[in-house]
Amino acid sequence: MFRKSSLIIYKQKPAVIQAIEDKISISFVSGFKGKKALIENQKVRDKDILFLHPGPVENLASLVTEDNIKASDTFTKAIIETWELLAEEEQAFRFDEIAELSIDTKVLENIFPLYFSLIDSVYFKTEQKESQLFFIPRSKDEVAALLEKENEKQNEAAIKDGFIKRLRQKKADLESDAKFLQEIEAFALGKTDKAKYLKEAHVKETIEEAHKLLLDVGFWTMSKNPYPARHGLSMHSSTSFLDSPPHEDDRIKLEHLAYAIDNEGSTDPDDAIAYDGEHLWIHIADPASTVLPDSAIDKAARNRGATLYIPEGASRMLSEKSLKDYALGLEGENSYSRALSFKIRITEDAVIEDVSIIKSFVKVKRLSYKEADEQKNSPQLAPLFRLADKNFIKRKNAGAIQIQFPEASVILTKNEGADPSVEIAPLVEYESFALVREMMLLAGEAAARFAFKNNIPFPYVSQEEPEIPKKLPEGLAGQYRLRKSMKARSLGVTPSQHASLGLSFYSQVSSPLRRYSDLVAHQQIRLFLDNKTVLTGDAVLERISQGDAASRAIMRASRESELHWKLVYLLQNPEWEGTGIILEQKGKTAIVFIESLAMEASVHAPKAELNDKIFLRVGKIQLTKLEVQFIEA
């Protein structure tokens, strides 16, 4: 079959036989330089080549161009006519037999184009036997189905090309382009690490540019908050919950009334306080009664680390269904709530003398901070306010540092068919804020002392002493400098001082419904109270480290989400003007604190002094980069 100068195919490349010895010497087209075919020589085995035509061929390069080694419409018509002749034949045909029916085989320039058009067509199947390629006509139904599929691909390609063209013009047909835009959206949300359409549209492949493009074409509005998703966080609460309510076990019914003081409208109250004249009582929600270490609910909570609070709402560490079982006071003050109650014998100077912890039922009355302030002189609350003041003095004398910056809440109001309206409301400084803070610090100190005394491996929170400058500025500038001096807090199983709180022992235990390390602390206390084996120090450390890593992502997402909505507020209010307080001066640039926004920013203010107030207006806002420029008005 093979002879010198025959036309063959080698690895899907045009070739010609030069000599036949132990192996076959061939010349083949390895590529093109300009319009000239590049020829290489090689010795091959006969099974590596396909015979096409006896030739003879003297100059391979003269037969081959870059265009005629691809499928061609010129030859497709001839192939269809040949297929129509052979369609009823249920047999395989050699290439030379197909060629005789399709083209003038004496014109050798036609051989390679016919081959490449034939193998690319839908009309024949191929089957190789030794060094011959055979072609089998497909049935009319098979061809029709393949042509339909081919048309769909061509239509899809045309649709995609149209989408890319629109994208380059920062336009889109939101209905027909949705599936393409959804791929860009996945990239902008951090769910994929590639966005092929951005590259094709000549857009820089970054999540910020993807975000901007989705805004430009109207697929996203400025209300779209991508930051929780970018940190791998769900915008929905956990769905893990117990099918049956917690068992009552050996809880003690307490007859005093405790007060759960929280923001108005709070839906997850998890602490309440009372004073009986001798003991301070701090009652904490008791999910650890049923959320056991390494249970499905525990693992789900560990993966979340904490409850995510953003202006859109809360995405809870424990499920919404869990709240009715564990939150305090949801059923009203005449009903009992399950709690882990810290009974603390405390001196008039707020020194903890003894701590016991009880599994309890407790009556809880809910109060807003405003209501607590209004009742601060009542017989029930006055002793608690007094103890809080004493505890603050105690901590301050021990070196506690109190840093205070004005805060604000971002409030969203839904608008039918439009972006929500954004309002930024200053946070009212109620005295009961300090009351609750001091009570929860006492609970954390009491829990840490209890764990240490009873040799319970425990999640302790510590912080090294800050390096405070000898001369601090007054006002907010001083608070800013003080904050910059603070060391990062540490979470571990070795007790150590918490310098900024002025405590030698400290753990967080007040929020087991919304903070995983608090839940671990409760689980350890629970195991101890039930005379069961507590988790080892290594096991506690592993759990709180995983939960802490997840909670750091939540803090970043929460911070970025709040800034996002503040920028949306400024976009909705482009005429905004306000006051900034100079916190730090760096050459001609100042760091300012904008009170009405509870926001820090850099401003060009070369002549300002620390704590000066300057009047600002808003300049350029880059929502996708979370950047805003303020200009001195």
Interstrand relation of 308-310 and 313-315 (parallel, antiparallel or unpaired)? antiparallel
Q: How far apart are CA 260 and CA 511, in angstroms?
A: 13
For the question of whether the overall pTM of this predicted structure is more than 0.85, the answer is no
Instruction: Give the pLDDT confidence score for residue 241 in this predicted structure.
Output: 66
Instruction: Give the pLDDT confidence score for residue 567 in this predicted structure.
Output: 97
Instruction: Give the pLDDT confidence score for residue 129 in this predicted structure.
Output: 85
Q: How far apart are CA 575 and CA 619, in angstroms?
A: 10
**Edge-to-edge strands of the sheet including 24-33?**
36-44, 24-33, 13-20, 7-10, 49-53
pLDDT (tens digit per residue) in 20-39: 888 899 999 988 888 788 89
Taking each helix axis as running N to C, give the angle between helix 382-397 and helix 431-453, from 0 to 180 degrees, rounded to the nearest 10: 70
SS (H, E, C) 578-610: EEEEEEEEECCEEEEEEHHHCEEEEEECCCCCC
Q: Which amino acid is it at 219?
A: F
Residue 428 backbone phi and psi in degrees, to 5: -70, 130
Instruction: Give the pLDDT confidence score for residue 346 in this predicted structure.
Output: 94
Q: How far apart are CA 177 and CA 161, in angstroms?
A: 11
SS (H, E, C) 433-476: HHHHHHHHHHHHHHHHHHHHHCCCCCCEEEECCCCCCCCCCCHH
Instruction: Give the pLDDT confidence score for residue 247 in this predicted structure.
Output: 67
Q: Tell me what percent of the residues of the chain surpass a pLDDT of 90.
A: 67
CATH class of 574-632: mainly beta
pLDDT (tens digit per residue) in 178-210: 999 999 999 999 999 988 899 999 999 999 999
Q: Which amino acid is it at 64?
A: V
Instruction: Give the pLDDT confidence score for residue 310 in this predicted structure.
Output: 95
Q: How far apart are CA 590 and CA 587, in angstroms?
A: 8
Tokens 């249920």 correspond to what residue? Answer: 90
Closest CA to 22 of 51, 44, 49: 44
Domain coordinates in residue numbering, the chain: 7-138, 142-220, 252-561, 574-632
Instruction: Give the pLDDT confidence score for residue 245 in this predicted structure.
Output: 59
Residues in the chain predicted with pLDDT less than 70, given as ranges, are 1, 71, 241-248
Give the distance, in angstroms, between the CA of residue 508 and the centroid of all CA atoms in the same chain.
Answer: 26
The helix (H) or strand (E) run that includes residue 341 is strand 336-346
Q: How far apart are CA 259 and CA 444, in angstroms?
A: 18
Helices marked H in 36-72: 60-63
User: Residue 3, CB half-sphere, CA atoms under 13 Å: how many?
Assistant: 6
